[in-house]
């Protein structure tokens, strides 16, 4: 029987410590500045590229870690540094996952390197799924892709919103409807190459948190892309649509769509981001409670504070274990029969909101000021229960999975 262990191996520990050092020395000291500027921290991304963190090779090494823990370990350490800057560094990964989950080997080899650029000329990529009227309700997507057979081109029209790196990306991955009658089952993903006419940035959002990460609308006005930009190819799409139509005639069954495939692969990673932010806030609160004195003794001597810290640490460790379980299951091809990926994202994101709020409470008035980082961490934590599926959607996915109901 294979040995069971919950310890990272020596190589993983080395990578973890390297990432932690970068987060501590490069990301965290710059966090407040870029939060205030609300701009993409290109110099920090370039530093990450120079040391090898922002690169296809590093991402691939972590993605294909046979234990499944490479990506969640990396996410936790980077987001421990700062969520906004870290999201600017890893945001390209969502587009890369979209290509890895749905693309051919040729598409993977062609487009993912262009998403990152190199250390001297860094690039970013964007995954565009949400729309003004279709966030969690992906079946209501209005962006359309129509095939022009004479030219072997797809013509895409629509508006995307909440796109990380939207409009500033070198490569955009866009989810569009190719058969509206099939709802979410009629979606496909497309590569929009650099400098494609018709693609433009719309509104850039001024956000409550993760303000160093660029979030914007993406406008697609008669965007034409070659047939080769359909992820997976047209033959595979036609086969999938035919199966979906046949199953719809028989009453319908659960069918995975392109956007859902990407989100399923990335939800444990988002959980790991939340764990990193929660851990950072907990550590600030713990250090403060040890050194802050009231009534002649450290405030950690008071059970009201000590018990909060005990709960915070317990919830963080539980969240990490759920993330690790889901990540291990994914890399080993274990089916999420109880929506374990959604479980990890749900619990970790709710934990981040709760722990960062408790950290502010422990710091009292100081926690409410920008002199201490916990107020920024609390603002950042709010996003985890919203993007890539709200907490309500995670509960819907979990409940329908354990009940055997279809997820549409």
Q: Long-range contacts for 234-239 (Cβ within 8 Å, ≥24 apart)?
A: 234/147, 237/178, 237/188
The H-assigned helical ranges of 295-403 are 303-331, 340-363, 374-381, 391-403
For residue 172, the cross-strand partners are: 126, 192
Q: What are the Cα distances from residue 42, in Å, to 124, 243, 310?
A: 10, 45, 38
Residue from 14, 235, 388, 392 carrying the catalytic annotation:
388
With tokens 């973890």, the residue in question is: 16
End-to-end CA distance of the chain: 39
- How far lies 374's CA from each of 113, 226, 274, 370, 385, in Å? 36, 47, 14, 8, 18
Of the candidates 184, 221, 23, 192, the one whose C-alpha atom is nearest the C-alpha of residue 95 is: 192
Contacts 24+ apart (CB under 8 A), 292-297: 292/363
Q: Are β-strands 125-128 and 171-177 bridged in parallel, bridged antiparallel, or unpaired?
A: parallel
CA distance 131 to 214: 17
Annotation says 14 is catalytic: no
- Rg of the chain's alpha carbons, rounded to an integer? 22
Which positions are annotated as active-site residues?
Answer: 388
């Amino acid at each position: 029987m294979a040995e069971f262990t919950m310890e990272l191996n020596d190589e993983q520990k080395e990578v973890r410590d390297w990432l932690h050092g970068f987060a501590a020395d490069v990301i965290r000291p710059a966090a407040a500045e870029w939060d205030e500027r609300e701009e993409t921290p290109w110099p920090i991304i370039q530093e990450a590229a120079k040391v090898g963190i922002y690169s296809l090779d590093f991402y691939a090494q972590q993605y294909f870690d046979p234990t499944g823990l490479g990506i969640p370990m990396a996410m936790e350490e980077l987001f421990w540094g700062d969520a906004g800057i870290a999201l600017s560094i890893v945001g390209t990964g969502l587009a890369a996952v979209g290509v890895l989950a749905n693309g051919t080997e040729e598409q993977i080899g062609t487009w993912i390197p262009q998403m990152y650029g190199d250390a001297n000329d860094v690039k970013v990529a964007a995954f565009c799924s949400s729309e003004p009227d279709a966030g969690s309700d992906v079946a209501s997507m209005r962006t359309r892709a129509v095939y022009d057979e004479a030219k072997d081109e797809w013509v895409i029209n629509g508006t995307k919103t909440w796109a990380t790196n939207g409009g500033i990306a070198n490569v955009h991955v866009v989810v569009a409807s190719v058969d509206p009658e099939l709802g979410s089952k009629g979606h496909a993903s497309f590569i929009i190459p650099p400098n494609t006419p018709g693609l433009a940035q719309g509104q850039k959002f001024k956000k409550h948190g993760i303000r160093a990460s660029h979030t914007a609308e993406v406008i697609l006005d008669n965007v034409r892309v070659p047939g080769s930009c359909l992820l997976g190819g047209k033959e595979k799409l036609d086969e999938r649509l035919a199966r979906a139509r046949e199953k719809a005639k028989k009453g319908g069954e659960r069918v995975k769509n392109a956007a859902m495939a990407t989100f399923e692969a990335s939800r444990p990673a988002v959980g790991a981001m939340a764990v990193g932010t929660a851990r950072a806030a907990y550590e600030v609160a713990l250090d403060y409670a040890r050194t802050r004195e009231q009534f002649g003794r450290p405030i950690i001597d008071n059970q009201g504070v000590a018990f909060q810290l005990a709960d915070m640490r317990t919830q963080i460790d539980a969240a990490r274990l759920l993330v690790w379980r889901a990540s291990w299951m994914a890399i080993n091809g274990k089916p999420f029969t109880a929506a374990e990926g959604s479980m990890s994202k749900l619990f970790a994101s709710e934990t981040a909101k709760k722990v960062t709020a408790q950290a502010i409470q422990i710091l009292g008035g100081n926690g409410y000021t920008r002199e201490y980082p916990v107020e920024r961490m609390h603002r950042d934590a709010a996003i985890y229960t919203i993007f890539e599926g709200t907490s309500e959607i995670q509960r819907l996915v979990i409940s329908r999975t354990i009940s055997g109901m279809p997820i549409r």
